[in-house]
Amino acid sequence: MPGNRIGSHSNCPIHSTQVKSISSVKGFFWKSKHRRKSSIPLDFSKISSLALKQICNEAERLQSFPLLSLAAALVPPFTKLSSNVLAVPLETSSIEAQRCIDQRPCEVESRGCGPCGELYFQNLDLSRNAVEHRTGIEFPTMLDNSISGESNSSFPPEVLVGTGSRTMTIIRIKSLKVYAFGFYVHPFDVCEKLGPKYASIPESELNKRQDFYQDLLRKDINMTLRLVVSCNGIKIKTVKDAFEKALRARLARTNPDADFRCLQTFGSMFPEDIPLNVGTTINIHRTADGHLITEIGGSQYGAVQSKDLCRAFFDMYIGDVPFVMMNTPANVCIVSWLILCSCLFSEIHADFDYQDALTKSIIFLEAQRSGKLPKNHRPSWRGDSALQDGKLANVDLVGGYYDAGDNVKYGLPMAFTVTTLSWAAIFYRSELQAAGEIENVRAAIRWGTDYFLKASSRRNHLYVEVGDPVKDHECWVGPENMKTPRTVLKIDQNTPGTEIAAETSAALTSASIAFRDADHTYSRRLLNRAKSLFSFAKTYKGTYDGECPFYCSYSGFNDELLWAATWLYTATRRSLYLDYILEEAVSSPVSEFSWDLKYAGAQILLTKLYFEGQKDLHTYNQQADSFVCSVLPDSPHHQVYISPGGLVHLRDGANSQYVTGTAFLFSVYSDILATHKQKVTCGNKKFDSVRLLDFAKQQMDYLLGKNPKGRSYMVGFGKNPPRQAHHRGASVPKIALAKVISCPMSFVYWYNKNVPNPNELTGAIVGGPDKQDNFEDLRTSSAMTEPTTYTNSLAIGVLAKLAKHHAQS
């Protein structure tokens, strides 16, 4: 049983110049022991023997080659330097090739798996730095603090693909070493966005393809230029002014309609008193969503969101008309080699059809409906069920949702499903409208709230469960044919259940906000009932164990009380609820958001209010940050286990609920941070909205198919989706309602058979793999194959976000 837990600031950056020497870096592959710390969702510890041969041959051939200096973006042309820096004219630098830093052959061990076998890289030390030979300056082979020791980067890991230096000759006598630089690219980005089009093209042919240059810029690939100053006297104002001039010309060429105000904003971000002493490190990052970010000496000084500016910046060095003309477009050699290497490591998928995944996620909720189904019901194999629910208690309890693969209606997870679904409808309303799904989401919410209005019709009474879980689990039949008892459980003054009453209050409150514009009368009705339930929850306190052992409250009821009060304050802005939050409520930093533990959700909602001016909520902002810090694998305060393939893993048994829960909160918090130009602080590191959304996307992409198994964990979606979901309705074929079914034999007929379900449970996100990314698609493996309503309700908001984000890009 899934419930059983036992078992930027929007503006611009920087400069321009010329180059010295470049070197390729071989051996950038991930060792498997580091994969848990890396956020790149690729299996870089495996490679086919054929791929290995191609890569080694390519690496040997490319031991030495010239490349235009990508560090030119950081120092202006020397003819423009202030006379205070150099008092005599300088000659143009020559371009010299530097040999491969590491020319050792690939060291592998064959494991013999599959037609080509699998090879594992051995003795690969990612902590070893690359040395730029002219200046002696070292560069980490990967910009990833978990491996290279970087302490302040909040950007995705990137691989060093080239180093170089700028040396100027003074009066043909003295050689002045001005700087060294390293050029880094996100390999997964390159492979994912350029691999499908270019990986199969020979390099000799690729060098002639002008569209490659444009795609490299247009596809918004994460890349970084790191410059290390090796002489004193360079002034930041000189660098800034030269860059503004060069970028203005490029912007005009690449997009005449670009907003040139970004250049002015960029200039305002660089105090003229920034020292550029020997050893000063300058990083310029381009993020996939169009941020150009500048770090100097470990501190971030500029963050500008302008894809035009990002493309103009790197167009100066990898465009078809580079700032410094080279004899050969060797930049193509580096990137084509990177594409070849990374694309042959594992099967790569392009961005998913998030719109389709969103639609199917909602369809799954329809398959979980109990009661009299509407005419527009989409899962054709489902029929009416449980039409006498509540009769034993002389109350109408028809409707609502079955929580997972059985036929019981549990109040606590059903309420959490409605709360989180309503949150998605509120926060991602425009995204759901753009996807054409807002009405389907509202219908899904109403299916739950209509039921809760019935279940709470008597004051200080709430019906919290319908069905006998023990008897239900002794029979494997669909809801249309079930004959098991429909026992009714309730809470009241004598048998309190604070968790369920408060969660139901939160569900009705959040739903009232979701319906405020669509159905004002219904919205007011929901809100009034929510207020009554909250009063009931905090007046008659006590934990209700009636839903154990399936939905026991392990966390207590303080989180639900805070959660409900937060939603009521959000809906009403009444001081009554704020006073409760500030004076009575209990909160705690956590690493989980689930049907049992709501603190993180409340903390993020309250952080939004804090950013909007409610400064007495500062503690909740700190706790929201703590949640993020505990999850991110590159945070100094990381606590949550991340599987080798990059998946959040808290528990075996419907673990995907924690994945979608984390992804949803990260997505919401990302938008809140972006709106208010804030960051999350984790010790000595800061993470921006881009990093949070990237992590949310990574988690959802894993479930949709970007994982070590290369398979989807959503039924009816993507490659090799689950076909044996642990679900009665999906696994049992349609049976005449009058037919008598033997419960013991039902397991023989439909449960224990290793065959696909006859009915597709479209959109269901199953429990998912274990902590080592292993998965078996067997109905009998309920921990891996059973879906839940709350897993999907948590996925809908982030899928809507990704669908719109993907459409815009």
Q: Compute φ and ψ for 464, nearest 5 degrees.
A: -115, -5
Strand partners of residue 294:
284, 302
C-alpha–C-alpha distance, residues 461 and 455, integer Å: 8
H or E element, residue 511: helix 498-514
- Cβ atoms within 10 A of the Cβ of 779, count? 26
C-alpha–C-alpha distance, residues 168 and 176, integer Å: 5
Out of 618, 726, 727, 806, the active site residue is 726
Q: Is 291 helix (H, G, I), strand (E, B) or coil?
A: strand
C-alpha–C-alpha distance, residues 217 and 311, integer Å: 6
Residues in the chain: 809
CB 427 within 8 A of CB 668: yes
CB 12 within 8 A of CB 71: no
Residue 254 makes CB contacts below 8 A (sequence gap 6+) with 308, 311, 312, 315
Residue whose token pair is 């489902």: 382
H or E element, residue 356: helix 354-367
Q: Establish whether 726 is a catalytic residue.
A: yes
Sign of CA dihedral 664, 667, 671, 673: positive
Crossing angle (nearest 10°) for helices 330-343 and 49-61: 160
Which burial class, exposed, middle or buried, applies to 775 when counting CB atoms under 10 A from its CB (0-12, 13-18, 19+)? buried
Sheet strands side by side (includes 488-491): 409-410, 462-466, 488-491
DSSP class per residue in 662-719: HHHHHHHHHHHHHHHT--EEETTEEE-HHHHHHHHHHHHHHHHT-STT---SBTTSSS
CB 536 within 8 A of CB 502: no
Active site residues: 726
